[in-house]
Amino acid sequence: MITGSTCALHDEIAWRGGHALPTSRLVAEEMAIALSYNGSTHAVMMATPSDLEDFGIGFTLTEGIVEHVSEIESIEVIPGELGIEVRIWLDADRASSLAARRRSMNGPVGCGLCGLESLEQARRAPMRVRSGMTFDAPDLLEAIRALAPLQSLNHQTRSVHAAAFWHPATGIALVREDVGRHNALDKLAGAISTSGHPAPGGAVLLTSRVSVELVQKTAIIGVPLVIAISAPTTLAIRTAEEAGITLLAIARDDGYGVFTHSHRVVLPGQLPRQAAC
């Protein structure tokens, strides 16, 4: 086995067309990533060990631990035998707030909505995204088409998700990949927050289904439009509506569906709406 930072070469016996053939395949790495704040472990995530500073910053923002990157004093990535620790140090006010939050929790924070103590927390009102941007429908289709060639790790392994930031003036500016779709978006959130790219003027591209957590995270990032290759859940649609996010999904070569806030998408050849069943 040849091990790299994001994938490893494994032997396999491929059985195709009724024939067995010894071969090898690149497989995505997945390992434990511990996120600690001011010396205390907060969460352990299974993730691809790349762009971990972005991951730490993005997770800290999208989980509401801080509101601004400036409240993060430092971040350090420490490899270990059992995994990797991302050590994050917060300013005094945020460290105190997090300590109080941890004391009130029944379980550890994890991917998605784990570790919450009430139904109200799980269904918290999303941040409202305010953006006057409009987008041409063909441009958004070209954006999602342009993502696949930029997924370098997925080209090797065929097993990871991607989240990307696209702007009409620059095209796809940032791409992050991970075995976890939430992780990929958190990495992207961290990259956007430190890159200077104008979040209110662009779109998030996703290679996964759209669940409520992804919409909530996008709202915190401040991006007004999401386009995904797979379908949304009903709660994701309702949350996008509340958050002021334009949600496009089921993107294929010939188009996509616009589920919320369609005023941001200029749709040439739009047909009259059919009556609901």
Residue 111 is among the residues annotated as catalytic for this protein: yes
In DSSP terms, 259 is beta-bridged to none
Amino acid identity at 38: N
**Contact call for residues 52 and 32 (beta carbons, < 8 A):** no
Residue 230 CA neighbour count, 13 Å, CB half = 13
The catalytic position among 7, 111, 114, 277 is 111
Q: What is the spatial distance between Cα 166 and Cα 157, in angstroms, rounded to a whole number? A: 24
Q: What is the spatial distance between Cα 225 and Cα 244, in angstroms, rounded to a whole number? A: 9
List, by residue number, the catalytic residues: 111
